[in-house]
Amino acid sequence: MLKPGPLSLLQDGGRYGWQHLGVSPAGPLDLHAAAWANRLLGNPWGTPLLEVALGDLELLAEVDTWVAVCGADTPIGIDGQTRPAWSRFAVRAGQHLKLGFVRSGQRAYLAVAGGFRASAVLGSVSTQAREELGGLHGLGGKLVAGDLLSCAPARFALAASVPWTYQPDYRATPVLRVITGGDAAEFDEDQLQAFFARSWQLSPQSDRMGARLQGEALVAPERQWSQGVASGAIQVPADGQPIILMADRQTMGGYPLLGWLHPLDLSRLAQCPAHQHLRFIAVSLSDAQDELRRFYRFFGR
């Protein structure tokens, strides 16, 4: 690792089975891009890869291998020669692989054939900084210059790319789907409708734990207890500014829940920059489940 960029993290499929102890799953924020990067290389679901926020990454290869880069639109070069995004390509020992600063989107996913090697903590190498778990050294740290990312040599006969119909346009204003539920019945009907009718902005205070929305405040019902929460849960705190829980979320929460963001739309939200305008529409639970099953079947989960 010659240059890690602002925030590069080792992630896999996530750390599941520990939420009863307060350990969040972590894992990639953009499941769609991460899954495609691994699929291009024939890697199983959840094979360890890099989540590169904002780009500006530089690696020196020490073995002949193949890599794939999907997600945010970032310039990709090998020794100054351009390579396409959403594709796999060869990298030879001694070559420099560079990702420039992103032009749209927020996070690129860099996978290597066979995956990056690191010791699992609680069954996963996913980096969770707040809980100091996972990552290259097992302590939840981001990647730094000088880190050695171990991988095996590999060879493919041909380059390959993701069909363009599966490559999102991160410049478009996203319309994100919401499954209403939780405490939705306790909201006044006009407040529930206002959530969908209003335009929201993504706050600069958003992070891997939660996407914070800014807009005309909602009036939320009171809640006197805490309950378990899942990724995509839409909390409405007392200030009326919704929070959408992401991969590094807490496992319990006491704010009223308006519903849950469609699991696949969490990927699109993860690629939105600060101040991005967002709109929401309702989707049925059954439709969301059907789409998620197709997604998992396609990627072999």
Which of 147, 166, 185 terminates a domain? The answer is: 166
Q: Cβ neighbours of residue 164 under 8 Å, at least 6 residues apart?
A: none
d(CA 281, CA 31): 21
Per-residue pLDDT, 5: 96
DSSP state of 139: B
Same domain, 119 and 183: no
Tokens of 179: 């499954």
Nearest to 101 by CA among 171, 167, 5: 5
- Return d(Cα 175, Cα 46) in angstroms, integer: 27
The closest alpha carbon to 36, from 145, 134, 146, 110, belongs to: 110
Using CA of residue 39, residue 57, residue 275, residue 253, what is the dihedral sign? positive
Residues 187 and 156 in one domain: no
Burial class (CB in 10 A: 0-12, 13-18, 19+), 33: buried
Residue 222's pLDDT is 85
Partnered with residue 179 across adjacent β-strands are 260
Question: Is residue 141 located within the same domain as residue 248?
Answer: no
pLDDT at 225: 81
Provide the pLDDT for residue 124.
97
pLDDT for 168? 95
How many domains does the chain contain in total?
A: 2
Assign residue 266 a region: left if phi > 0, alpha if psi is -120 to 50, beta otherwise? alpha
Amino acid 301: pLDDT: 84
Which pLDDT does position 160 carry in this prediction? 96
Q: How far apart are CA 172 and CA 73, in angstroms?
A: 13
Last residue of a domain, one of 135, 166, 197: 166
Same domain, 92 and 197: no
Same domain? For 128 and 267 the reply is no
Domain membership of residue 110 (yes or no) is yes
153 with 43, same domain?
yes
Domain end (from 136, 166, 196): 166
pLDDT (0 to 100) of residue 223? 76
Q: What are phi and psi of 33, to 5 degrees?
A: -65, -40
Report how far residue 191's alpha carbon sits from residue 236's, in angstroms, rounded to the nearest whole number.
11
CATH of the domain at 247: 2.40.100.10
**Model confidence, pTM:** 0.96
Residue whose C-alpha is closest to residue 57's, from 105, 4, 112: 4
Contact 261, 36 (CB under 8 A): no
Q: What integer pLDDT is reported at residue 216 of this predicted model?
A: 96
Residue 1 within any structural domain of the chain: no
Residues linked to residue 11 through DSSP beta bridges, in sequence order = 49
- CA R_g for the chain: 20
Q: In what order do the strands lie in the sheet with 96-99?
A: 57-60, 96-99, 76-78, 81-83
Inside any domain, residue 245: yes
Are 90 and 188 members of one domain? Answer: no
The residue range of the domain holding 251 is 175-299
Per-residue pLDDT of the chain (301 residues; tens, 9 = 90+): 999 999 999 999 999 999 999 999 999 999 999 999 999 999 999 999 999 999 999 999 999 999 999 999 999 999 999 999 999 999 999 999 999 999 999 999 999 999 999 999 999 999 999 999 999 999 999 999 999 999 999 999 999 999 999 999 999 999 999 999 999 999 999 999 999 999 999 999 999 999 999 999 999 998 768 889 999 999 999 999 999 999 999 999 989 999 999 999 999 999 999 999 999 999 999 999 999 999 999 999 8
Q: Does 153 share its domain with 195?
A: no
Tell me how far apart the alpha carbons of residues 86 and 71 are, in angstroms, rounded to a whole number. Answer: 7
Q: Which residues pair with 77 in a beta bridge?
A: 82, 98
159 and 12 together in one domain? yes
Q: Is residue 53 part of a domain?
A: yes
142 and 59: one domain? yes
**Phi, psi (degrees; rounded to nearest 5) at 200:** -115, 160
Structural domain contains residue 100 = yes
Within a domain: 70: yes
Residue 102 pLDDT: 97
Residue 56 resides in a domain: yes
- Report the pLDDT value the prediction gives residue 138, as an integer from 0 to 100: 95
| Same domain membership, residue 159 and residue 11 | yes
Residue 158 and residue 34 share a domain: yes
